[in-house]
Structure 1
Amino acid sequence: MVRAIDVVFEKLPPELDTIPDRDTVVDATLMIQAFVLNAFGCLDNLAWIWVCEKPVLNARGKELGPLEVGLGPKRRDVRASFSKEFVAYLEKRQDWVDKHLKGFRDSLAHRIPLYIPPYIVSPRLSKSTTSSKKPVEMPSESLTWGSTTSCRPSSADWASGGLG
């Protein structure tokens, strides 16, 4: 997981002041996605190790099903097997897990993948576009990701393999 973060900062260092090429941004995006999924997976794996090694059984004395294993507050049988101190530790961190880790993981796995925009418009350039009526010309390398007039890729983009 440390390597994933190292790669992000190697590919997109904070001091970078040019528009990175598409492959560089995609590589960094993949590393961020890998980090989020692995962070969530580590917590899930810890729960499974605990349940299997302890062993933790449900209220009927049966093995837990796959949807009954986890560290979250809804996993009452698992939580009941922990010390009060450890449950308090988990409860203190639950907001962070829900807001950051679970939210990003669920979005990545089920809805919209995490994404790094190809570039940003600086506040200086943004002010000049809002204060004048004429459009600001963007550098040509900023337009290499497809049309700026549509959020949908053109058929030429698909045909050329440029969206792979």
Structure 2
Amino acid sequence: MSYSPANIEKMHVSLRAVLQDLQTLILNTVIEGKALEPASPVREHLLHGAARRLQTVKRALERVFELFPLDSALPLANDALSDVQTNLHAFVMNLYGLYDNWAWAFVLRHDLLSRLGDRRRVGLFLQSTQKFLPAELREHLTSEAMTRWHGEYAKSFRDALAHRIPPYVPPSEFTEQESHRFQELEHEKLQCIRQMRWDRMQEISEEQAALGRPCFGFMHSFQEDEAPRPILLHPQLLTDSITAVECAKLFFAHWHRTA
């Protein structure tokens, strides 16, 4: 699993564009929030909710591309891989939370909480909230593409991160022969620990690090699905960011009114 030179160039172009779009969205969110009364809970959800999350999403996206270059030929070192996964977790959680901040901002702006009857009924992807949304925004959120993105991907990975198996990037991809050799070395490593042969331990670690190729995918559980498969990391984060920007544009264009 690797990216072609043409796809690498396309992703670099897309990255530059979406980072600029995210920065513009951050500024627009701050402007919308600052226009409200200081004590307004709507202001809080925009300035201290959505704007902060957008900053985190933007920075996490940047760091994943910096830490895990698209043209990587060797598996990442352990610390770099850990940093990629830390930023992936920050991205997934805050991206998902953005939609909740927008939902709360809308509900509070229009004093809808009493009509909803329960805080758990607040959410852009919940019918209880969607029925109050202006048609343009509701149609976008209930489209087949958005429903599938939220139900099959965004919610699945957010829930796994919060409650079950956190998303992770496998350290390497192996051929069958490489996998067999890696397991042999793992067995020898255990013996070295018992015998306190630390010099040999270092040699084993170096040989293991040289095996295989980087895995450009991420996933969360081998057990929850019948046939789990990694999702390509860089394209998915770009798609998620573009999706958020598109939704935000519609939200701020129409959030001043209800259905």
Same-fold call, TM cutoff 0.5 = yes
Give 1:5's match in structure 2, choosing from 22, 45, 61.
61
The structure 2 residue matched to 1:84, chosen from 131, 135, 146, is: 135
Q: Within the alignment, does 1:41 sit opposite 2:41 as a pair?
A: no
Q: How far apart are the structure 2 equivalents of 1:4 and 1:84?
A: 32
Give yes or no for contact 2:113–2:119 (8 Å, CA) kept in 1.
no
Query: Which one of 68, 82, 95 corresponds to residue 26 of structure 1?
Result: 82
Change (3 A) 1:142 1:105: farther
Alignment partners' CA distance in 1, 2:147 and 2:162: 20
CA distance in 2, matches of 1:72, 1:16: 37
- In the superposition, relative to structure 1, how do residues 103 and 142 fare at CA in structure 2: closer, same or farther (>3 Å)? farther
Q: 1:100 to 1:142 in 2, by over 3 A?
A: farther
Q: Name the count of aligned residue pairs.
A: 130
- Post-superposition offset of 1:143: 4.0
Work out whether 1:102 is the aligned partner of 2:167: no
Unaligned runs of 5+ in 1: 145-164
CA distance in 2, matches of 1:70, 1:142: 50
Q: Distance in 2 between matches of 1:66 and 1:96?
A: 24
Question: Within 5 Å, which residues of 2 pair with 1:12-161?
Answer: 12-58=68-114, 61=115, 64-73=117-126, 75-76=127-128, 78-92=129-143, 93-121=146-174, 125-126=175-176, 129=177, 135-136=180-181, 140-141=205-206, 143=208
* Higher share in helix: 2
Matches of 1:39 and 1:67, distance apart in 2: 19
Contact 1:19–1:119 (8 Å) recurs in 2: yes
Identity among equivalent pairs (%):
31
- CA–CA distance in 2 between the matches of 1:142 and 1:101? 37
Deviations 1:25-75 (A, max 9, x none): 0100010111110110000000011111111144xx4x64321111123x4
Deviation at 1:142, TM superposition (A): 5.9
TM-score by length of structure 1 reads: 0.69
Residues in 1 aligned to 2:156 and 2:76: alpha-carbon distance in whole angstroms: 28
Query: Whose RCO is larger (CA < 8 A, sep 6+)?
Result: 2
Cα RMSD for the two superposed structures: 2.3
Q: CA deviation at 1:120?
A: 1.4
TM value normalised by structure 2: 0.46
Q: Which runs of 5+ in 2 are unaligned?
A: 1-56, 186-203, 210-259
What amino acid is the match of 2:87? M
Equivalent position of 2:23 in the other structure: none
